[in-house]
Amino acid sequence: MNEFELIQAYFTSLAAKCSGGGVVLGIGDDCAILQPPPNAQLVVSTDTLISGVHFPENTTAYDVGFKALAVNLSDLAAMGA
């Protein structure tokens, strides 16, 4: 099962239930946009990095953290956040 099939199978119906109530843009894109307080928006991005798949198994924790930050900042930039 790929990423998009996983989202469709498990999260699309959940996202529909959560529409409204502060969800500006829900699951299915690189990020979600939430509206918690008035006149502000919160953009949330998460990605999973798997050892041996997304980085070599001997990678330092610092380098994994750097890559995780870069991947998520890229997603935020792609959304114009």
- Find the Cα–Cα–Cα–Cα dihedral 19, 81, 68, 30, rounded to 10°: 40
**Cβ–Cβ < 8 Å for 46, 32:** no
pLDDT tens for 6-27 read 777 777 666 666 656 677 777 6
Q: How far apart are CA 39 and CA 30, in angstroms?
A: 23
Give the 3-state secondary structure of residue 20: strand
pLDDT tens for 51-65 read 999 999 999 999 999
Stated as kind and residue range, the H or E segment containing 39 is none
Confidence of residue 40 (pLDDT cuts 50, 70, 90): confident
Residue with tokens 């919160």: 42
- State the pTM of this model: 0.57
Q: What are the structural domain ranges in the chain?
A: 1-44, 46-81
